[in-house]
Structure 1
């Protein structure tokens, strides 16, 4: 298959995360609004062009107070930094349909390289004749690297919010017309 432009199907895609809470469990959340620019040959992602833009105000952890705190200057500071972006800079094939996708992740005006493990899940035609492809990606981001340093020390030792954020992405896209 040739390198093709793909349109994100937001209804069938997700960007989810989890982070340790009180050193004893994980809190999960999602971003409800995001977009992706993908130009790729799904059979060989090594030459793909991939860019994500995430609307940070769309964060949803199923708790309005926590979501408001995450939008505040203590965390994402969405008033001054409304988006998180990722632009792929290097893609290495690591196995059958498996890749390490490295790129520039920008949060709160700080840009650092991050690598995500990506699996091409497959492709085919949907019932309406559209060509579709799917990808899964996972990674880990250290939130303090991006100025997300707010925390609270627990009287039992440890901290309220963990430093490592596990990221899980599911992407479904249709061939652009």
Structure 2
């Protein structure tokens, strides 16, 4: 009788870890398999004889993690998601100035609609700068977003969002985010503490920040990538549109989720 062992490897914040390697050892210490995860961090062994196995997960920059798997017969033994912790704390970008590349970045927001669905939109016109000193916790971020550039793939809805009921783009054409403090979060994330100014109102906003690495581009430059997520309460900015359905459910949720995928270019 035989079975397979499967697992998904992720960081402590839930991001898949495609570079992870699973090594499977028998109860007598013999190596049975060495496998690398796919893009989603998933790993599945070939068929293994019934028995007890030690599964060791390794990845560059992360502490090794071990699990025990008991294969009783035909079928799949799932170890679920195995979260690995980074060795030496969260990674950081190289010190220096980085300019956000809007052509390879996205600024997306999403809100609940009718309490049952999610509407997503993105801002297509934005710019910003990231300053990383030797003391990474003293890093700063400044970004500007054209509120008129909101795009939800629906012209009627976009027009409503640009009106005084929402972003009021004629009176407040820019939203600005500024942060001057970065604090360690988990073993592979940071907390970016800043203020967002929207419709003339400045509100403290914290973002969960992940540094995704950097690479030399084909044109002699250096590029880095970041991901940030957070939530906003629209009433904090005076966006009080509160039409409700007959059932009392708000047409548009009061909480907006923010998802940023940022690519930045090192500048002199």
Structure 1-normalised TM-score?
A: 0.94
1:67 partnered with 2:158:
yes
Give 1:22 shift. 0.6
Work out which of the residue numbers 113, 126, 136 in structure 1 matches 2:227. Answer: 136
**In 2, Cα distance between equivalents of 1:52 and 1:61:** 21
Find the counterpart in structure 2 of residue 27 from structure 1. Answer: 119
Find the counterpart in structure 1 of residue 95 from structure 2. Answer: 3
Q: Indicate conservation of the 8 Å contact 2:139/2:181, yes or no.
A: no
User: Which whole-Å deviations, capped at 9, do the CAs of 1:28-62 have from their partners, x for residues lacking one?
Assistant: 00000000111115x96412120110000000000
Q: Indicate conservation of the 8 Å contact 1:3/1:48, yes or no.
A: no
Work out which of the residue numbers 243, 249, 253 in structure 2 matches 1:152. Answer: 243
RMSD: 1.5
Find the counterpart in structure 2 of residue 168 from structure 1. Answer: 259
Distance 1:44 1:167, change over 3 A: farther
Structure 2-normalised TM-score?
A: 0.63
Give 4+ residue runs of structure 1 displaced > 2 Å after superposition. Answer: none
Larger radius of gyration: 2
**In 2, Cα distance between equivalents of 1:126 and 1:89:** 28
Give 1:8 shift. 1.4
User: Which whole-Å deviations, capped at 9, do the CAs of 1:80-130 have from their partners, x for residues lacking one?
Assistant: 011111100321012344110010111101111010000000011112221
- The residue matched to 1:16 in structure 2 has which SS? strand
Q: Indicate conservation of the 8 Å contact 1:14/1:31, yes or no.
A: yes
**In 1, Cα distance between equivalents of 2:136 and 2:128:** 15
Question: Structure 1: any 5+ residue segments left out of the alignment?
Answer: none
Find the counterpart in structure 2 of residue 79 from structure 1. Answer: 170
Asked which structure has the greater RCO (Cα within 8 Å, sep 6+), the reply is 1
Work out which of the residue numbers 56, 67, 74 in structure 1 matches 2:147. Answer: 56
1:108 partnered with 2:210:
no
**In 1, Cα distance between equivalents of 2:266 and 2:187:** 22
Distance 1:13 1:44, change over 3 A: farther
User: Which whole-Å deviations, capped at 9, do the CAs of 1:151-175 have from their partners, x for residues lacking one?
Assistant: 2110122110000000000110111
Q: Indicate conservation of the 8 Å contact 2:139/2:180, yes or no.
A: no
Q: Indicate conservation of the 8 Å contact 2:235/2:254, yes or no.
A: yes
**In 1, Cα distance between equivalents of 2:111 and 2:215:** 34
